[in-house]
Amino acid sequence: MSRKKYVIIGNSYAGVFAIENIRKQDKEGEITVISAEPYHAYARAAIHEYMDGIIGDSQMYYRDKHFYERHRVKTLLGMAVTRIEPKENRVVLDSGQKVNFDRLMISTGGIPITPPISGSKGPGMFTFTTWDDAKVLRDWIKKQKKPRAVVIGGGLIGLQCAEGLKHMGVDVTVVELADYVLVKALDQLTAQRVQKWLEDNGLKIMTGTTVESIIRVKGKVTGVKLKNGEKLKCDTVVLSIGVRPNTGLLEGSGIKINRGIMVNNTMQTNVEGIFAAGDVAEAEDFLRKRADVIPIIPIATMQGMIAGSNMAGEKKIYPGGLPQNAFQFFGKSTVSIGNVIYVDKNDGFEEIVRDQGDVHKKAVLKDGKLVGILSMNYMTRIGIYNSVIRARMDVSGIKDKLLSDNFGFLDLPKEFRDEMLTKPG
């Protein structure tokens, strides 16, 4: 049998996990990874820390420098795929080069949403999702005499960018359309606390409004005009209202797209032999049991692992993605797992809250089962809740213990403990 040809488009979290898992099964096949970016896989989620100089190149690379060599991967970096031709089993690059495959994985990630805002064309306007974005923004800021930035969007990317800019001495204002920041990750109370902490550390945050136009004088950004009529002076605008699946190259391929690329529980698309994973894929949500795009690292890597294994001939089933995020701003941490936002009693939801000094914890139960955890300033053993949610365990009998600081395996049923602790992980 001839050697199988694997092609992976996109060289980030999902791509790396696919490579590692293909190689586990198939020592002979040819693996090619194609990426529009010129870099070895890097920590996309750390670009704000790179921008402000907290970390250097060595902390940015996701794998060691011999990673591709060791896994015998051919890299086509700095090359964009312009077209996928499933019938011919090949992809076409911008150079015109054609690359054949037996198995293809699309992990092209997300791209920033850039709505048409008057005055947004021209210098002084930035997005913030790639390493190059961070380098370009850093260099721009260094050239400003008294840099002042407006960040449009108070989601995770916007706030991390804002923190990075603040560390660089920039006067930063974040403008968020919703009534509070981090609307997708946190409930209102926690978000407002995070917001206060950000403000205490010198960020200005305006909520309930957005930027209507960018004001330019002789082409140079001098400020923004908000929907509420207010004007803010600035020389730099960062657009970070969100990302969407990067599906442009699929046009005409026949691969089905809803919000993201639709995949089944083996991460395969509607076209046999073609898989998708990561921020571009739309797969089962563990809690809601319907397909969704959940753009977070643990889901991208797990999907990459499942896709890679199945591409190499192993049978692996995706258990569904559980939304979760941990982040820290100015040294304070918050973690959110599962559903912490929808808590309608009429729908069977129940909320348990524990506030103690700086620590704020919240558990969300649905029909007695744990479905969400939120914790601010307390991280110890927080992952155990991940197991409890995954086990769809009824916790209505241990509600009083659930949020205590010494909550642990001994509060959980013996059978669960035996299953977890006496077998290999």
Minimum distance of another protein from residue 218's CB (angstroms): 41
Cβ neighbours for 52, distance < 8 A, ≥ 6 positions apart: 138, 163, 164, 165, 167, 168
Residue 106 sits in the site that holds another protein (CB under 8 A) = no
Q: How many alpha carbons lie under 13 Å from residue 370 in its C-beta half-sphere?
A: 25
- Residue 125 or 156: the one with the smaller Cβ distance to another protein is 156
Residue 406 sits in the site that holds another protein (CB under 8 A) = yes
* Contact pattern for another protein over residues 348 through 387, marking x by CB under 8 A: -------------------------------xxxxxx-xx
- CB-CB contact of 280 with 10 (8 Å): yes
Residue 410 sits in the site that holds another protein (CB under 8 A) = yes
- Residue 12 or 253: the one with the smaller Cβ distance to another protein is 12
* Contact pattern for another protein over residues 305 through 344, marking x by CB under 8 A: x------------------xxxxx----x-x-x-------
Pairing label, strands 349-356, 359-366 = antiparallel
CA dist., res. 395 & res. 382, Å (int): 16
Cβ neighbours for 57, distance < 8 A, ≥ 6 positions apart: none
Minimum distance of another protein from residue 75's CB (angstroms): 17
CA dist., res. 16 & res. 305, Å (int): 9
- Residue 62 or 342: the one with the smaller Cβ distance to another protein is 62
Instruction: For the beta carbon of residue 259, count every other beta carbon within 10 angstroms.
Output: 12
- CB-CB contact of 60 with 42 (8 Å): yes
- Residue 250 or 322: the one with the smaller Cβ distance to another protein is 322
How far from chain centre, in Å, is Cα 284? 16
Stretch that binds another protein, among 55-63, 89-97, 148-156, 231-239 (CB under 8 A): 55-63
Nearest to 111 by CA among 299, 290, 343, 293: 293
- Residue 229 or 424: the one with the smaller Cβ distance to another protein is 424
* Contact pattern for another protein over residues 12 through 51, marking x by CB under 8 A: -----x-------------------------xxxx--x--
- Residue 182 or 274: the one with the smaller Cβ distance to another protein is 182
Number of residues this chain uses to bind another protein (CB under 8 A): 47
CA dist., res. 180 & res. 187, Å (int): 9
- Residue 101 or 407: the one with the smaller Cβ distance to another protein is 407
Beta bridge partners of 24: none
Token pair for 411: 């509060």
- Residue 123 or 408: the one with the smaller Cβ distance to another protein is 408
- Residue 112 or 308: the one with the smaller Cβ distance to another protein is 308
Residue 59 sits in the site that holds another protein (CB under 8 A) = yes
Calculate the CA dihedral of residues 379, 383, 384, 390 and round it to 10 degrees.
140
CA dist., res. 247 & res. 146, Å (int): 39
At what angle are helices 188-200 and 156-167 packed, to 10 degrees?
Answer: 10
Residue 183 sits in the site that holds another protein (CB under 8 A) = no
Interface with another protein in residues 269-308 (CB under 8 A): 297-298, 301-302, 305
Minimum distance of another protein from residue 238's CB (angstroms): 20
* Of 1, 2, 28, 58, the one binding another protein by CB under 8 A: 58
* Of 25, 55, 77, 201, the one binding another protein by CB under 8 A: 55
DSSP secondary structure letters along 330-342: TTEEEEEEE--S-
Residue 184 sits in the site that holds another protein (CB under 8 A) = no
Q: Reduced to 3 DSSP states, what percent helix, strand and coil does the chain have, rounded to the nearest 5?
A: 30, 30, 40
Q: Name the residue type at position 382.
A: I
Token pair for 96: 């015109």
- Residue 160 or 210: the one with the smaller Cβ distance to another protein is 160
Give contact residues for another protein (rule: CB under 8 A): 17, 43-46, 49, 55, 58-63, 297-298, 301-302, 305, 324-328, 333, 335, 337, 379-384, 386-387, 390, 406, 408-411, 417, 420-425
